[in-house]
């Protein structure tokens, strides 16, 4: 392994913290607006990063950034109580979808500012903003994979007929985490097709020739 680029390591960690904060806040505020006070009581309806970071998930990200190893970083999951929703299946799906949608909107905001506003910026700031766009879009596609505990599994469960959704969620409860670990560590080529390629295509369109 060559010398560590500490500037890039710092940018990766900061970008992850910001993207995860927006992602988890979106889950929390959506659940709260749909009638569940649980996220509010637990202090999750906030943009304070400290309230959304999972210690182990953040440590994993730091290790990946420093060593270049393959792995997963994650934030603290927002807890919800479906009994507080008027339409539990639909509202759970909306809460799950709020996370990826927030990352898409965040990326659009940054890319739009970079392309259409004449903002003075240093090369390091430009690199960081490009990284932010990549990370937001990458997190969106990754979380849309329909494997538990990712948001995509909850979105798909909300779209399936009730009986099929029950069987699907039961299978995901049993095998989802194993499948996800296998996807990341054993067959990363599939992850590249599901996340890497579409991320590159979308970011290329968003940033143009910036």
- The residues that are catalytic are 24
In the chain, the largest separation of any two C-alpha atoms, in whole Å, equals 55
Query: Which residue, chain included where needed, has tokens 């929703």?
Result: 85
Spatial separation of the C-alpha atoms in residues 210 and 111, rounded to whole Å: 9
3-state secondary structure of 43: coil
Show Cβ contacts of residue 204 under 8 Å, excluding neighbours closer than 6 positions. none
Spatial separation of the C-alpha atoms in residues 11 and 94, rounded to whole Å: 31
């Amino acid at each position: 392994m060559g010398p560590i680029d500490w500037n890039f390591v710092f940018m990766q960690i900061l970008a992850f913290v910001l993207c995860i904060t927006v992602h988890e806040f979106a889950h929390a505020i959506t659940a709260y607006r749909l009638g569940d006070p649980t996220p509010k009581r637990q202090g999750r309806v906030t943009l304070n990063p400290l309230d959304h970071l999972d210690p182990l998930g953040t440590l994993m990200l730091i290790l990946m950034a420093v060593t270049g190893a393959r792995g997963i970083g994650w934030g603290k999951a927002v807890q919800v109580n479906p009994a507080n929703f008027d339409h539990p299946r639909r509202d759970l799906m909306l809460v799950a979808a709020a996370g990826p949608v927030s990352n898409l909107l965040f990326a659009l905001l940054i890319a739009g500012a970079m392309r259409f506003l004449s903002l003075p910026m240093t090369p390091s700031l430009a690199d960081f903003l490009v990284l932010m766009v990549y990370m937001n879009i990458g997190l969106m596609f990754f979380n849309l994979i329909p494997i538990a505990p990712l948001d995509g599994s909850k979105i798909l469960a909300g779209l399936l007929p009730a009986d099929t959704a029950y069987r699907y969620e039961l299978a995901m409860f049993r095998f989802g985490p194993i499948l996800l670990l296998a996807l990341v560590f054993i067959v990363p080529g599939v992850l590249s097709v599901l996340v890497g390629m579409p991320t590159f295509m979308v970011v290329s369109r968003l940033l143009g020739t910036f």
